[in-house]
Structure 1
Amino acid sequence: MALWDRIKESASTMQTQLVAKKNDLKSGAFRDASMAMCALVAAADGTIDPAERRRVAQLISTNEVLQNFDALDLQRRFDANLDKLTADFDFGKVSVLQEIAKAKKKPAEARAVIQIGIVIGGADGDFDKTEQAVVREACFTLDLPPHEFDL
């Protein structure tokens, strides 16, 4: 199976698993952590162009699991995290990882945050090394083994 197909299949599988847990993913901690994860993956290479920002914002607004939350609120949280990362990536990453850590208390939410990162990273068909690295770092932040997610 080609790498492209494996990435699409993995993102699709993660999305299916997320939808199955949708009713369990309604906490503020999950909301905050998932928006931080989206921003971290979007800015993984240290930059984010306007097209990428729009693409991720579109994915957030159409993601079935995230429809538990107000779309404008999600957009505001995503943008705030991106602003931290674009102002100073290293310093912003510390703050964003602290947001992600909010999901640590509930293992199902922690796993869902990682799955959202994989869905966002694989949405363009190229879950690249820098995106994988930040999702792996988030795994460590949430005390989850990266190999559980093929990272």
Structure 2
Amino acid sequence: MALWDRVKESAATMQEQLNAKKNDLKSGAFRDASMAMCALVAAADGSVEPAERQRVAQLITTNEVLRNFPADDLRRRFEEYVDKLEADFEFGRVGLLQEVAKAKKKPAEARAVVQIGIVIGGADGDFDDTEKALVREACYTLDLPPAEFDL
């Protein structure tokens, strides 16, 4: 199977797993951690091009699991988090990983945050090494083994 097909299949599988848990993923901690994860993945290479920012924002507002929250609120949080990363990537990364850590108390939410990162990272068909590294770092932040997610 081609790498492109494996990336698409993995992202689709993660999305199916998320959809199955949708009713359990309604907390503010999950919302904030998910948006932080989306911003981290979008800015994994140190910057976010306007087209990429728009693409990720659209994925957020159309994601079935994230429909538990108002789309405008999600988009605003995502934009704020990306702005923090663009202002100072390293400082912003530390702050956003603290947001991700909010999901640590509930294992289902923690796993869902990681899965959202994988879905966002694989949405363009290229879940690259810098994106994987940030999702792996989030796994450690959430006390989850990266191997559980093939990272």
Question: What is the rounded CA distance, in whole Å, between the counterparts of 2:141 and 2:62 in structure 1?
Answer: 27
Identity within the alignment, %: 81
Q: Partner letter of residue 136 of structure 1?
A: R
Q: What is residue 91 of structure 1 aligned with on the other side? A: 91
- The aligned length equals 151
Rounded Cα–Cα distance in structure 1 between residues aligned with 2:99 and 2:81: 9
The one-letter code of the counterpart of 1:126 is D
2:62 maps to which residue? 62
The runs of 4+ residues in structure 1 deviating greater than 4 Å are none
Q: Normalized against structure 2, the TM-score is what?
A: 1.00
Amino acid at match of 1:92: G
Partner of 2:17: 17
TM-score (norm 1): 1.00
- Per-residue CA deviations over 1:11-42 (Å, capped at 9, x if unaligned) read 00000000000000000000000000000000
CA distance in 2, matches of 1:113, 1:81: 15
| CA distance in 2: counterparts of 1:79 and 1:95, whole angstroms | 15
> Hey, what's the Cα distance between the residues in 1 that align with 2:58 and 2:93?
22
- How far apart, CA to CA, are the structure 2 residues paired with 1:72 and 1:122? 23
Runs (5+) with no aligned partner, structure 2: none
Alignment RMSD (CA, Å): 0.3
Q: Secondary structure at the match of 1:102?
A: helix
